[in-house]
Amino acid sequence: MLAFTLKRLGLAVLVTLTVSLLSFSLLFMSGDPASAIAGENASASDVDAIRALYGFDRPFLVQYGDWLTSALRGDFGQSYYFKMPVSELIADRLSITMLLGVCGISFALLTAVPLGVAAAMRPNTLIDRTALFISVMGQAMPSFWFGLVLIVIFSIRLNWLPPSGSNGWQNFIMPTVVLGYYAMPAIMRLTRAGMLEVLGADYIRTARAKGASEMRVMFKHALRNAVVPVVSLAAVQMGFMLGGSIVVESIFALHGAGYLAWESIARNDLPTVQALILIFSLFYIVFTFLSDLANAWLDPRIRVG
Partner 1 sequence: MSDPILSVHDLTIDIPMGQGTMHAVRGIGFDLKRGETLCIVGESGSGKSLTSLAIMGLLPKNLKRAASRLEFARIDLQHQKPRQMRDLRGNRMAMIFQEPMTSLNPAYTIGDQLEEAYLLHNKTGRAEARARAVALLGKVGITAAESRLSQYPHQLSGGLRQRVMIAMALMCAPELIIADEPTTALDVTIQAQILRLLADLQREMNMAMILVTHDLGVVARIADKVAVMYAGEVVEQGTAQEIFRHPRHPYTRGLLRCIPVPGKTKPGEHLGSIPGIVPSLIGRMEGCAFRTRCDVAEAACASAVPERHTETGHAWRCIHENEGHENEGRVPA
Residues found near partner 1 in the complex (CB under 8 A):
201-203, 205-214, 221, 224-225, 298-301, 304
Q: How far is CA 218 from CA 114, 132, 198, in A?
A: 11, 20, 10
Least Å from the CB of residue 214 to partner 1: 8
SS3 142: coil
CB of 198 to partner 1, least distance (A): 10
Give the nearer residue to partner 1 in terms of CB position, either 231 or 282: 231
Note the helical H segments in the chain.
2-29, 33-38, 44-54, 60-72, 86-121, 126-140, 143-150, 170-199, 202-209, 214-216, 223-226, 228-244, 246-251, 257-266, 270-298, 300-303
Inter-residue contact 181 to 138 (CB < 8 Å)? yes
Residue 58 or 205 having the CB closest to partner 1? 205
Cα–Cα distance measured from residue 231 to residue 30, given in angstroms and rounded to the nearest whole number: 37
Residue 51 or residue 221: which is nearer to partner 1 going by CB? 221
Q: How far is the CB of 232 from partner 1 (least distance, A)?
A: 16
User: Given phi > 0 = left and psi -120 to 50 = alpha, else beta, which region is 299?
Assistant: beta
Smallest gap from Cβ 209 to partner 1, in A, equals 5
Tell the smallest beta-carbon distance from residue 220 to partner 1 (Å): 8
Question: Is the CB of 59 or the CB of 300 nearer to partner 1?
Answer: 300
- 261 within 8 A of 97, measured Cβ to Cβ: no
Which one, 126 or 266, has the nearer CB to partner 1? 126
Q: How far is the CB of 128 from partner 1 (least distance, A)?
A: 15
Q: How many CB atoms are located within 10 Å of the residue 125 CB?
A: 12
Nearer to partner 1, 58 or 210 (CB): 210
Residues 6 or more apart in contact with residue 189 via CB below 8 angstroms: 116, 135
